[in-house]
Homo-oligomer: A and B are copies of this chain.
Amino acid sequence: MSRWEPDASGRLRQAAMELFVERGYEQTTVAEIAQRAGLTARTFFRHFADKREVLFASSAVLLDRLAEAVEDAPASASTMTAVLAALDAAAAVLGGQHETARQRYSIISANAELRERELIKLASLSAAIADGLRRRGVADPEASLAAEAGIAVLRVAFEHWLSGPADQDLARIVRQSFDQLKTLTATI
């Protein structure tokens, strides 16, 4: 038998989610999370840079998927088509667990620190898309703009999806949002 229980990071995430749901983010200390996971606070900070980060561990995967999708888009695709491919990839990752996503979203919405962290994660997604576009030869104000607009579409679509029934298709809502943006910018 090994010296420690396996999957410390997973236990910490689990314990954190439970406690945040039970009593809220601010009312939960890192020491309590660690204790529930059978660890110490110091160890918590070895797995997560800070208390917020325990809720955002999965965002690295999402970033990779977006980057891949932009890279894999055909060379002939327009800038915005490549962005749409990235959004489809995001929808595939996010669109699976409606209830979990809702719960997580409600924890984040209730706390300013967490909303800030959420925004910077979204910004890093945008940066990854912009990066991919630049590698495709798209020049810079245009690459950033396309990426930012894409993330704006994703955000709005995601929130709309969350507020609706569980069986809706996120990718479809993303596509509708994009079309709406197209219409909006064209009507001036």
Contact = CB atoms under 8 A, between A and B. Distances in A.
Interface of A: 78-81, 84, 112, 115-117, 119-120, 123, 141-142, 144-146, 148-149, 151-153, 155-156, 159-160, 177-178, 180-182, 184-188
A180 B119 contact: no
28 contacts: A78-B188, A79-B187, A80-B184, A80-B185, A80-B187, A80-B188, A81-B188, A84-B188, A116-B119, A119-B123, A141-B180, A142-B180, A144-B156, A144-B159, A145-B177, A145-B180, A145-B181, A145-B184, A146-B184, A148-B152, A149-B149, A149-B152, A152-B152, A178-B185, A182-B188, A185-B185, A185-B186, A186-B186
Q: Report copies per complex.
A: 2
A33 B159 CA distance: 40
B119 A112 contact: no
A136 to B, nearest CB: 14
A50 to B, nearest CB: 10
Q: Could you tell me the dominant secondary structure of chain A's interface residues? A: helix
